[in-house]
Amino acid sequence: MSDVVAIDLGGTNIRAARVDKNGKILVREKISTHAKEGMAAVVANIAGLVQKVRGPDTVGVGVGTPGVPNHKTGEMLLPAVNIPGSGGFQLTKELTRLTNLPVSADNDGNLAALGESWLGAGKGEPVVIIFTLGTGVGGGLVVDGEVYHGTHNLGTEFGHLSIDYKGRKCGCGNLGCIERYASASAVGRDAREALSAPNAGKSLMLELAGGSIEKVEARTVWDAAGKGDALAIKLADDCCDYLSCAVGSLINSLNPSCVIIGGGMSLAGEPLRSRLQKRIDEGRAFGPIAKDARIKIAILGDDAGILGAARMALNVAEHSVQKS
Amino acid sequence: MSDVVAIDLGGTNIRAARVDKNGKILVREKISTHAKEGMAAVVANIAGLVQKVRGPDTVGVGVGTPGVPNHKTGEMLLPAVNIPGSGGFQLTKELTRLTNLPVSADNDGNLAALGESWLGAGKGEPVVIIFTLGTGVGGGLVVDGEVYHGTHNLGTEFGHLSIDYKGRKCGCGNLGCIERYASASAVGRDAREALSAPNAGKSLMLELAGGSIEKVEARTVWDAAGKGDALAIKLADDCCDYLSCAVGSLINSLNPSCVIIGGGMSLAGEPLRSRLQKRIDEGRAFGPIAKDARIKIAILGDDAGILGAARMALNVAEHSVQKS
């Protein structure tokens, strides 16, 4: 059975795996990124890693990268922020030259979405939307097993859906972006502000953070809400109401069969999922469209990206077989 | 050269045209819908119309209908509101039986989007979003010449993008839907409310409406704004700010190459387009994504739907040639 090599290029490590057609990881390797040495050196190291993990039946390479590669040409349209020389770099051309294998590349967020839709929470679903709730809010859209790319692979910036046309100011220049309300960072900040208010009552959150307001984070909110703390429950409810507005707008726009919540805050799990589902069903999305769209929690964790990179490489190999 | 028959099923009239591969309309016909006679009778009338306008080289039929047909099976998933017996009706199967031609069907809004992207304001654009501003707000998404359908063809309800999570109540059950702010109905209502306020000053709008507040509509607002009326200019600016929030969210989500404004209010033309473009460029959409997305005004008017129906039938015919 043929297989592919999947690469997850991160700021700290480069992870590689050989993956078969069923998504079984056959071999894994990991090296340090040494981002400061620049993109050419990083890609040479990736090529070495490919040679190490490839097998006799390897038919292609899929690379997930920070920044945004052009999905058609493999040129880096937006640089990987921490890797000098990555902007404009001919990622797939150079790696094809070094490995003699067909190489495809995409943004790491898109590939995490593809991985979850292939083998994770979105398995078997025709139209999958992912919201990743971490430091920021990211997203992805996968239709019939292929990533949606828009004009230049710059879309699915679901963190910059606005839920209030005169709302909180976002770094992107807009007002009301959901990233400013329902990212892990935003929920942590809302909690610290609430606890710092002059009229703030007692809250378990402060206790869980060892008495230090500065140590209260999104996870503190969800932990305390699970233990019945009233202020934490209000913050969790607010977070899910904000999120339901953005998710509901996307459901009405894209008629997905499921919406997957990923990223660090998805560790809150069922209490987050059920609150969000409830708000969607109560009216945030339109009747028959809401019925199609089940809210799920991501299940693949760190492997979503590498499995997505494998799926992309397999798609490319299958398309080229169909063409020949 | 082969051609197709395109049908635009409306509540009042059924329009038909024979259209060639270049979008040239060769023959036109129109009959009354007689919706009350029910869907079976209506479809029999459509079949008669097809026989009348088809030629020796006609290879297929495309039908645009109110309500929502399943894009794969042609069964009516949501009924055409004014036509009894349309819910669940096997639209394409029945019409194929009656005409002996391959029949495809889609929602009329989707086909208007497809028509504009084929031969109208979106000609040559890879990713086209349409907002239609009329009694309500509708939408469509066309990617590489094909309509985006989502799971069950229920999406692209762009009128139900929320721009305020605690905003105006919408009939759909949500709060803040853009339909409640930037449809022609909403703009007219906002104008009448502003003119009825106890502190309302003089406005040219009232004069243009013959002194009767009840006769002030969206077009009155745009006419008076064009003549420099301060209150009308404020209403036009507000409308475009609301709209920029919804359009900006979609641009960030879908990275379109253009956004077309259609529907009755698009007759406002350049003053609407330029205001909206300005707000998008000022920050409602994210830098490089905003750069891709040019705002345009629809140009095909009533023919958008019939040309879209023709394009769909041509797509089906081309796919079946590729397969055979």
pLDDT, tens digit (0-9, with 9 covering 90-100), for B277-317: 999 999 999 989 999 999 999 999 989 999 999 999 999 99
**Shortest Cα distance from A155 to chain B (angstroms)?**
4
pTM passes above 0.80: yes
Secondary structure string (H, E, C) spanning A225-291: HHCCCHHHHHHHHHHHHHHHHHHHHHHHHHCCCEEEEECHHHHHCHHHHHHHHHHHHHHHCCHHHHH
* Residue type for position B28: R
CA distance linking residue B32 with residue B12, whole number of Å: 6
CA distance linking residue A25 with residue A22, whole number of Å: 9
Cβ neighbours of B288 in A, within 8 Å: 77-78, 152, 154
Instruction: Look at A153 and B255 and tell me if their CB atoms are within 8 Å.
Output: yes
Mutate to test the interface with B, among A154, A165, A181 (most CBs of B within 10 A): A165
Element (H, E) at B51: helix B39-53
Q: CB under 8 Å to B84, separation ≥6 — which residues?
A: B35, B36, B38, B39
Q: CB under 8 Å to B241, separation ≥6 — which residues?
A: A165, B279
Instruction: Look at A249 and B160 and tell me if their CB atoms are within 8 Å.
Output: yes
* Contact in structure between B137 and B265 (CB atoms under 8 Å): no
Instruction: Look at B165 and A253 and tell me if their CB atoms are within 8 Å.
Output: no
Instruction: Look at A288 and B78 and tell me if their CB atoms are within 8 Å.
Output: yes
Mutate to test the interface with B, among A71, A142, A281, A286 (most CBs of B within 10 A): A286
Cβ neighbours of B287 in A, within 8 Å: 172-173
Find, among A151, A146, A148, A153, the residue nearest to A318 by Cα: A146
Asked whether the predicted pLDDT for residue B143 surpasses 80, the reply is yes
Pairing of β A127-133 and β A68-69? unpaired
Q: Which of B143, B156, B242 sits opposite A253 (nearest CB)?
A: B156
Instruction: Look at A78 and B288 and tell me if their CB atoms are within 8 Å.
Output: yes
* Contact in structure between B106 and B152 (CB atoms under 8 Å): no
CA distance linking residue A281 with residue A248, whole number of Å: 9
Instruction: Look at B174 and A148 and tell me if their CB atoms are within 8 Å.
Output: no
pLDDT of residue B184: 96
Characterise B301 by phi-psi region: left (phi > 0), alpha (psi -120 to 50), beta (else).
Answer: left
pLDDT of residue A323: 67
pLDDT, tens digit (0-9, with 9 covering 90-100), for B62-95: 999 999 999 999 999 999 888 999 999 999 999 9
pLDDT of residue B320: 83
Distance from first CA to last CA of chain B, Å, rounded? Answer: 19
Of all residues in chain B, the one with the smallest CA distance to A255 is B155
Cβ neighbours of A254 in B, within 8 Å: 148, 150, 155-156
Find, among B2, B36, B8, B39, the residue nearest to B21 by Cα: B2
- Side by side, which strands form the sheet with A137-143? A146-147, A137-143, A127-133, A258-262, A294-297
* Contact in structure between A253 and B155 (CB atoms under 8 Å): yes
10-residue averages of pLDDT along chain A (324 residues): 95 95 97 95 97 97 95 93 93 97 95 97 98 93 96 95 98 96 97 94 95 97 98 98 98 98 96 97 94 96 96 93 70
Instruction: Look at B285 and A158 and tell me if their CB atoms are within 8 Å.
Output: no
pLDDT, tens digit (0-9, with 9 covering 90-100), for B20-64: 999 999 999 999 999 999 999 999 999 999 999 999 999 999 999
Instruction: Look at A150 and B127 and tell me if their CB atoms are within 8 Å.
Output: yes
Give the count of Cβ contacts less than 8 A between chain A and B: 157
* Contact in structure between A29 and A15 (CB atoms under 8 Å): yes
Characterise B57 by phi-psi region: left (phi > 0), alpha (psi -120 to 50), beta (else).
Answer: alpha
Instruction: Look at A250 and B252 and tell me if their CB atoms are within 8 Å.
Output: no
pLDDT of residue B323: 67
**Shortest Cα distance from A321 to chain B (angstroms)?**
16
pLDDT of residue A123: 98
CA distance linking residue A310 with residue A109, whole number of Å: 14
* Contact in structure between A176 and B245 (CB atoms under 8 Å): yes
Mean pLDDT of chain B: 96
**Shortest Cα distance from A139 to chain B (angstroms)?**
9
* Contact in structure between B286 and B38 (CB atoms under 8 Å): no
Characterise B134 by phi-psi region: left (phi > 0), alpha (psi -120 to 50), beta (else).
Answer: beta
Could you tell me the pLDDT band of residue B321, with boundaries at 50, 70 and 90? confident
